[in-house]
Amino acid sequence: MSATLQIARAEVTDAVRSRVLWVVTAVLGLFVVTRLWLYGDLLAGTTYPFLSTFDTFAEFVPLLVIILGYRAVVGERDSGRIRLLLGQPGHRRDIVTGKYVGRAATLLAVVLAVALLLLAFVVAQFGTDGPTEIVGGLAVIILYTFAWLGVTVGVSSTFASETRVIGILIGLYALCVVLWDNLVISLVSLVVTGQAETGVDPLAGRFATLEEPTWFLYANRLNPLHAFDGARYYVPDLLDIAFVGGTTTAPHAPNLFGLGVLLAWATVPFLVGYWRFQRADLD
Amino acid sequence: MTAIETEGLTKRYGDLEAISDVNLTVERGEIFGFLGPNGAGKSTTIDVLLDFIRPTDGRASILDDDPQENPRAVRERIGILPDEYSLYDRLTGREHVAFAIEMNDAADDPDEILERVGLADAADQRAGDYSKGMAQRLALGMALVGEPDVLILDEPSSGIDPNGMHEIRTLLREEADRGATIFFSSHALEQVEAICDRVCVLDDGELLAVSTVENLRDSLDSRSVLVLTLDADPGSGPDPDDDHGLLELPDVTDVERTGATLRIECADPGVKSAAISRVEDTGASVVDIDVEQASLEDLFAELTTDSTDSTDSTDSTEDAEPIETPGGESA
C-alpha cells in the first residue's frame, strides 16, 4: 500500500475514535431532522421534497468541513506529528494527499449518513423524489463537500499558523454566507450596471430562469453556496436528459459554469496548498 | 560511503543565522555524539538532514543521497527520533509500530519491537495516555523498524529516567553492533560519553570541535577548580589581589579571592596539592577543600570565548560573588 494510503488509513482510524467527530455528526443529524419537523409543511406541496431540503447542507457542509478539516495539515505542523510522519519513508506530497484522502473519506461518510437519514425521513413523510433527483442530488452534495474540502485542506497546507488558517476559513465562510448578497453582488452590480441595488431576489438565482441579468447568473455562482443551490436542480435535470429523455428549463451555460466553479473550489486551493507545502520550512 | 556529510551548511532566518558553515562527516558504523547547549542549532542541522527545512547555503547528504532531492530514498534507510513530535493520541502503541512497519514495507514483528523498547505491557494502550518517557520509547521503536542503516536521534534522553536511559544505551549498542550508524544529539556530555565514539560540539550555530569523547572529557577535567576556605578572612587587606604566589605555579590559570575563599583554576588536576602547600606556606591555614568539576557549559563557554574575548565570562562571576558569600561564610 502506498504511503498516501497508509497515512489516510491512520487518519481515518484516529478520526473514528474521536469524540468530536461523533458529537458533530449527531448534532448535524439532530439539526437536520428537527428542521424537517419544523418546516415540513412547506415541503408537502413540492415536486421534489428531498431536493428542497438541501438548504440545510448549503450552510452546514462548509461548517462541518472547516471544523473537522482545518487542522489537516497545519495541525500536523503545529503538533509536530509531521516529524513522525516524515521520519517514515514517503514524500511530503504523501502527507498532503494522505490527509486529503483521509479527511475526504471521513467527511463523505458523515455527510452521506446525514443525507440518507434526511432522505429516509422525507420519503416516510412526503413521498419520494424520482431516482434521478436522489442520485443527482447526492452527487451534488458530494461535489459540494469536495469543494469545501479542497479549500480547507488547501488553506491548511499553505500556512504555518493554525490561527491564520482558521481565520481565513471563517472569513471565507462569512463572505459566502453573510456578506455575499450585500457586499460582493452589490459591488459586481455597481461595476456592471452602475447601481449597487440589483433588484434581483437573491433566491431567484438558483432557478436561473433567464429573467435575471446574465452577469448575475454568473457572478452569483462564484459563491459555492449558490453554485450548489443551482446545481441541485440542474444535475438531476441533466441525468433526466441523459437517461430518460427529459428536458430542462434551466439555461445550460450559467449552470455548467456553476459546476465548473465547484470543481475549481475543489482543486485550485488544494493545488496551491500542495505547491506551497512542498517548498515550506517545516519547523 | 559516508553515513552523514555536510558541507558549508548554513540556514538563515532573515538576519538570524541558525547554523553557519557547518562541515561534518560521520563515517558508517560510528556512534557519533552531536553536542551543544539548547538553541545551539542542533535541531536545525538535523531538520536539514531530514529535509524538514531547506538550507540557505551548503549541502547535506545521508548515505550519499541528498535528502532534499531524494527524500524517500533517504527516509527508507534511516530511522528518526525527532525532537518535537507528537503521536496519534487515539492509536495504540502497537498500531503506531504497525504503521511504521507498513510505511517501511518491513517484516518486523510489532510486539518484538515494543518488547525491545520496554513497552510490551503498554502495547494496547492509546498513545494519548502515554507518559513523555513512554512516548519517547514508542517513537524510538518506530525508528528501529526496518533495520535502518542510520539512526538519527534528537535529544533521545528527554523525558526518560536514568534507568530507562541505560536501557536505551544498551539498545543503541545492539543497533551499532548490527552495523548501524548512530547520530545522537544531546545538550549533556554525560548522555553521550558512555556510548559515543566521537563527538562534535556545536554552539551558536557554529561547529567548534570534533573530537573523541576522551579528549573532550580530558579538557573538561583539566578545567577543574580548587576551592579553598581559609581560617580567617584576610579582609580587603594590604593586598586584595594577593594570589599567594599561586600564579607562579605552572598549570594554575587563574586565582580569585572572595573573602576567605580562594578559587584556583587548574589546567592540570595534578597541580592541586602543590597549590594547597603554596597557600599554607604563606601562613594561612586551609580549613576546607572543595573541587568543582567544570561543566559542559563551561567547556562550551571556553570553546566559544577562546576565539573572541576570554575575560567576559569570568568578569561577570567575579562581580556577582562578593555580594553573596563573605558575610555568611566568614561569620
In this complex, which of A14, A81, A89 lies closest to B104 when CB atoms are compared?
Answer: A89
Task: Find the closest chain B residue to A16 by CA distance.
Answer: B90
In this complex, which of A14, A279, A283 lies closest to B90 when CB atoms are compared?
Answer: A14
- pLDDT 10s digits, B249-268: 888 878 888 778 888 887 77
B88 touches chain A (CB under 8 A): yes
Q: List, as one string, the DSSP characters of B236-250.
A: S-S-TT--TTGGGST
- Report chain B residues whose CB lies below 8 A from the CB of A1: 102
Task: List residues bridging with A141 in a β-sheet.
Answer: none
| Separation in Å, CA of B178 to nearest CA in chain A | 21
3-class SS string, A230-283: HHHHHHHHHHHHHHHCCCCCCCHHHHHHHHHHHHHHHHHHHHHHHHHHHHCCCC
Distance CA B61, CA B67 (A): 6
Whole-model pTM?
Answer: 0.80
Are the beta carbons of B254 and B227 closer than 8 angstroms?
no
pLDDT value at A209 more than 80:
no
Task: Over range B156-170, report the average pLDDT.
Answer: 86
Least confidently predicted of A64-68, B28-32, B178-182, B310-314:
B310-314
pLDDT at B328: 36
Of the pLDDT bands very low, low, confident and very high (cuts 50, 70, 90), residue A36 is: confident
One-letter identity of residue B59: R
Distance CA A18, CA A11 (A): 11
pLDDT at B318: 35
pLDDT at B316: 36
In this complex, which of B71, B105, B142 lies closest to A91 when CB atoms are compared?
Answer: B71
The verdict on a CB contact (< 8 Å) between A13 and B85 is no
- Average pLDDT over chain A reads 87
Are the beta carbons of B163 and B170 closer than 8 angstroms?
no
- Report chain A residues whose CB lies below 8 A from the CB of B47: 282-283
Distance CA A13, CA A21 (A): 12
Task: Find the closest chain B residue to A6 by CA distance.
Answer: B103
Distance CA A229, CA A55 (A): 8
B10 touches chain A (CB under 8 A): no
pLDDT value at B327 more than 70:
no
Distance CA B1, CA A265 (A): 48
pLDDT at A261: 95
pLDDT at B331: 33
Task: Find the closest chain B residue to A82 by CA distance.
Answer: B85
ipTM: 0.85
pLDDT at A200: 65
- Report chain B residues whose CB lies below 8 A from the CB of A83: 50, 52, 80, 82-85
Identify the contact set of chain A against chain B, taking CB-CB distances under 8 A.
Answer: 1, 3, 6, 10, 13-14, 17-18, 79-84, 86-92, 279, 281-283
CA-based torsion, A116, A122, A123, A128: positive or negative: negative
B60 touches chain A (CB under 8 A): no
A169-206 burial string, b = 16+ CB within 10 Å, else e?
beebbeebeeebbeebbbebbeeeeeeeebebeeeebb
- Report chain A residues whose CB lies below 8 A from the CB of B142: 84, 87-88
Name the region of B60 (left: φ>0; alpha: ψ -120 to 50; beta: rest).
beta
Task: Over range B152-159, report the average pLDDT.
Answer: 88
Whose cell is 505547491? That residue is A275
Number of helical H runs and strand E runs in chain B: 12, 13
Of the pLDDT bands very low, low, confident and very high (cuts 50, 70, 90), residue A1 is: low
Domains of chain B: 2-218 (3.40.50.300), 222-330 (3.30.70.100)
| Separation in Å, CA of A87 to nearest CA in chain B | 5
B306 touches chain A (CB under 8 A): no
Name the region of A232 (left: φ>0; alpha: ψ -120 to 50; beta: rest).
alpha
In this complex, which of A83, A87, A281 lies closest to B54 when CB atoms are compared?
Answer: A281
Here the cell at position B61 is 547528504
pLDDT value at B326 more than 60:
no
- Report chain A residues whose CB lies below 8 A from the CB of B82: 80, 83-84, 87
CB pairs under 8 A between A and B: 86
- Report chain A residues whose CB lies below 8 A from the CB of B139: 84
- Report chain B residues whose CB lies below 8 A from the CB of A86: 50-52, 71, 75
